[in-house]
Amino acid sequence: MSFSESLLSLRLSIDYRSKPDVLRNLALQMRRGEILGLVGQSGSGKSTLALAILRLLGLRGGVSRGEIRFQGRDLMSLSEREMRELRGRQIGLVLQSPLSSLNPALRIGTQLAEAWRAHANGNREDCTRSILAALKSVSLPEGERFLRRSPSQVSVGQAQRVLIAMATLHRPPLLIADEPTSALDTITQAEVLRLFASLNRELGMAILYISHDLLSVASLCHRIAILHEGEIVECGETQQIFAQPTHPYTCQLIEALPRNPFESPDRGNTPGQQAMETTDVPAHVPAGKSQQ
């Protein structure tokens, strides 16, 4: 990967006091505008990595060593004040449980306005305009009426859209989505996956999409990184991972799927098309990106 293409490049080791070596010299790279899927079983260290990139691991009592380069800057050497400026503005974060991520006591509009003011100066009209545009980009078009609702008056799927709007309000070049569909039913899951694909396509936003579900990852991501026992054991183009998995754990993951999204006995073998027809969401097929 050339320097100009690189958005994020990291090499990290992470320990918790009671659990050392959660991640062991883990290396990962992301290009601008790509969707990278990070797949690993529960407890493999996915959330640990997400928090470490945002330098929030201290909240959990974790310690990280190594290097995180983001847009040419070394995040490990930034001050906490510089990191606060970067979080939300340069790197957005969406978590698994939408309702518990929203403040139940505040209206949706108030929470979005707070997120806007954290990184922008402007009057009330500027703020409202940005928020309404953000709601529209996540297909919550009801506008001002919706903003007056409290979190208890929206569905889980709507709450997740609000959080995605919040995380993308400042159009960050990188969005980290940590199991963002785990709390959603399958139809809402598919809608949210489509939303990520359109945010990526329309805003050019890179997404680190974290999930234990290889099938949803396959339908959305340009590349996939497989996390196993604290290391990335395999990383490559989505179609290549399915066609030629090299690590035994990846083979196990693929064999455990009810179907291979890139294989169909009674159709021609056009992998992207296969994904579009066989998975629950329209495939966001990578356009000629080469392997790192």
Ligand X SMILES: Nc1ncnc2c1ncn2[C@@H]1O[C@H](COP(=O)(O)OP(=O)(O)O)[C@@H](O)[C@H]1O
Candidate ranges 15-23, 143-151, 194-202, 260-268; the one touching ligand X (CB under 6 A): 15-23
CA dist., res. 141 & res. 165, Å (int) = 12
Q: How does DSSP assign 9-60, residue by residue?
A: EEEEEEEETTEEEEEEEEEEEEETT-EEEEE--TTSSHHHHHHHHTT-GGGG
Instruction: Provide, rounded to whole angstroms, the least separation between the CB of residue 76 and ligand X.
Output: 19
245 binds ligand X (CB under 6 A): no
Stated length of the chain: 292
Among 9, 29, 47, 160, binds ligand X (CB under 6 A): 47
Per-residue binder mask for ligand X (CB under 6 A), 154-193, x = binder: ----------------------------------------
Per-residue binder mask for Mg ion (CB under 5 A), 31-50, x = binder: ---------------xx---
CA dist., res. 187 & res. 170, Å (int) = 28
Instruction: Provide, rounded to whole angstroms, the least separation between the CB of residue 75 and ligand X.
Output: 18
Dihedral of the CA atoms 4, 6, 7, 9 (nearest 10)? -140
Phi-psi region of 162 (alpha: psi -120 to 50; beta: other; left: phi over 0): alpha
Which of 255, 270, 276 is CA-nearest to residue 193? 276
Candidate ranges 14-22, 67-75, 152-160, 263-271; the one touching ligand X (CB under 6 A): 14-22
- Tell me which of Mg ion, ligand X, none is bound by residue 73, counting a contact when its beta carbon lies within the kind-specific cut-off of 5 to 8 angstroms: none
Tokens representing residue 18 in the block: 């009671």
Total residues at interface with ligand X (CB under 6 A): 14
Candidate ranges 13-21, 25-33, 159-167, 234-242; the one touching ligand X (CB under 6 A): 13-21
Residues near ligand X (CB under 6 A)? 16, 18-19, 22, 40, 42-48, 60-61
